[in-house]
Amino acid sequence: MKDRSTEKVAYLTYTEDRLQPQEKPLVRETAWTIHVNGQELVTILCTPNKMNFLVLGFLASERIIQSLDDVGILRVCEDEGNVVDVRLRDNALSLPRRRVLLSGCGGGVTFEDLTANHARLTSSLTITPAQISKLMRDLQRSAEVYRATGGIHASALSDGERLLVVAEDVGRHNTLDKIRGECIYHHIPTKDRIILTTGRISSEMANKAVGMETPILISRTSPTDLAVRLADSWGITLVGYARGKRMNLYTHPERITSME
């Protein structure tokens, strides 16, 4: 599928009592319906790039699949009304029905109980403030659609030294699903890695992080109070407002080293 993350739009700018015509790309937001084994599962609002990875990551986040081996066919059908058709190897799988609307932009939805117990992450992974600052700069440079349009979220998976996978989307939760799906497809481990994001860390972001077994979650903006409580309970180091040499450490600060 062709990457159509942006669409050029004509508009007028008003400056100093003058109207001037302009044309600039804007980030695209489209609705896609996921069908699993012939049943409609959910419709997701998203930026239409990396759609195969988004769907793989979403299905893994909802515990519908465990690995790529569970998927028989995945077809992205833009010319059939923006449908993603997934056929699992287990044709008798019972799909979840209870949906929870997420607080994120982009029309997010989950079938998970976000306050349910997860196994507490135990990890010896550490990172320094200098590494965090560098990785956040790397994320900013890698966010190509953001630089072209603004109005989009970017997230990345890192090993502490470099960015392994980067994703952009109007929904911050979608970026994590795209990352997870790409990692599933390319057999990239997410355990004991670091997630960096430009978006607010809310409960669903913490939930997706614990599902990926990533013990460090970093954002340039704020977490919610529920995200902090969940991260503390699940053993996730939560860092917010990571901007330059400043950052807030909300939970499990022991993983942030060299604090002199």
- For the chain, the residue count is 260
The answer to whether 183 is a known catalytic residue is: no
Q: Is residue 37 classed exposed, middle or buried when 0-12, 13-18 and 19+ CB atoms within 10 A define those classes? A: middle
Q: Tell me the one-letter amino acid at 124.
A: S
Strand order in the sheet with 163-169: 163-169, 153-158, 194-197, 216-219, 237-243, 246-251
Tokens representing residue 76 in the block: 């992205």
- Geometric angle at alpha carbon 138, from 154 and 170, rounded to 5°: 10
Nearest to 201 by CA among 178, 180, 231, 181: 231
Select which of 46, 77, 105, 183 is catalytic: 105
Q: Kindly list the catalytic residues.
A: 105
